[in-house]
A and B are shown apart, each in its own frame.
Chain A
Amino acid sequence: MRGLALVLLIMSGCAFDVSYVTRVPTTFEPAAPNGPNWVLQQPQSIGVGSGFPTRLRQGTHWQRAGTIPQGDVFRTGDQIVTVEASNTFEAMVVLRDNTLVGFYLPVEHSFVAATEPVKLPIQQGAQP
């Protein structure tokens, strides 16, 4: 009985936030409209260590929204992009030399690094 009480006590104090991402505060500098853009040529799945990868769809158009110290920030209107753990964050992708290095969270003003940077198969300058 004591053991059960102890388990219940521990569980009740557990936040159940078993999945989380490491967010690094960063500074976003918006870019002028009509900046560089590209189209993703193949679907991609990018992990952030939470167990819930972010999937990017083939054929989505991306436009540069700005920069952060970690790279260039791109957004798309063709799909919803989120970083998911116990909580969910709307996100934009961060590229350095056509390699996706992580995600920018505009609400949290934070950067989340990709578990493994991914060289994206992209077509530069494609018109949406």
Chain B
Amino acid sequence: MTRSIRPFRGLAPLLFALLAALFLSGCATSGATYADLQAKLPPPPPGDGRIFIYRSTVAGAAVQPSVKLNDAVIGSAVPRGFFYLDRPAGDYTISTETEVKRSLSLTLAPGQVRYVRIGIAFGFFVGHVYPELVEDAEAQSDIAGCHLTGS
């Protein structure tokens, strides 16, 4: 009689628990949601516009790269999280980087609100994280349940 050897059998529950912990720790589970805050946020200062940056899914939760505005770090791409910043009207480039750098260039007018979603795609070693400009109506629905992670 042959007996099958499954050396990793006992590790499955542990592996599952580790993955679950990793998954949950990566989510922005605290902080007010966009839906809670939306009406309470003051308008941007005169001459400024506002950029919301959010990540609406938990896919690839372990990958949370920095988000840069014109090469300066402004926050992290936290799953189910968002942050915003007010900046003078002008031209901006938002970028993220894992094994590759992905960027989005956009214009910002005085009083304008822009929504930038951080998406994730398959990569070679690590997922590729990329910023994309989203229409206001779609973004407001998308971001509603995301939690403020700082600005």
A contact residues vs B (CB 8 Å cutoff): 11, 14-17, 79-80, 82, 86-90, 105-108
Contact = CB atoms under 8 A, between A and B. Distances in A.
Interface of B: 91-93, 99-100, 102-107, 123-124, 128, 130-135
Contact of B124 (A11, A86, A106, A108): A11
B133 A106 contact: no
A80 B133 contact: yes
Contacts of B107: 90, 106-107
Contacts of A82: 104, 132-133
B104 to A, nearest CB: 5
Contacts of B124: 11, 14, 16
A16 B133 CA distance: 21
A80 B134 contact: yes
Contacts of A88: 102-105, 130-133
Given A16-B99, A107-B92, A87 B104 contact: yes
Contacts of A79: 135
A17 B99 CA distance: 11
B100 A16 contact: yes
Given A16-B123, A16-B124, A87 B91 contact: no
25 contacts: A11-B124, A14-B124, A16-B100, A16-B123, A16-B124, A16-B128, A79-B135, A80-B135, A82-B132, A86-B100, A87-B103, A87-B104, A88-B102, A88-B104, A88-B130, A88-B131, A88-B132, A88-B133, A89-B104, A89-B105, A90-B106, A105-B105, A107-B91, A107-B105, A108-B105
Nearest to B135: A80
Most B-side CB within 10 Å, residue of A11, A82, A90, A105: A90
Nearest to B132: A88
B133 A90 contact: yes
Contacts of B91: 106-107
Contacts of B131: 88
A16 to B, nearest CB: 4
A87 B102 contact: yes
Given A11-B124, A80-B133, A107-B105, 5 more contacts: A16-B123, A16-B124, A87-B102, A88-B105, A90-B107
B60 to A, nearest CB: 16
Contacts of B103: 87-88
A118 B100 CA distance: 33
Contacts of A11: 124
Q: Closest 4 CB pairs between A and B? A: A107-B105, A16-B100, A107-B91, A90-B106
Nearest to A16: B100
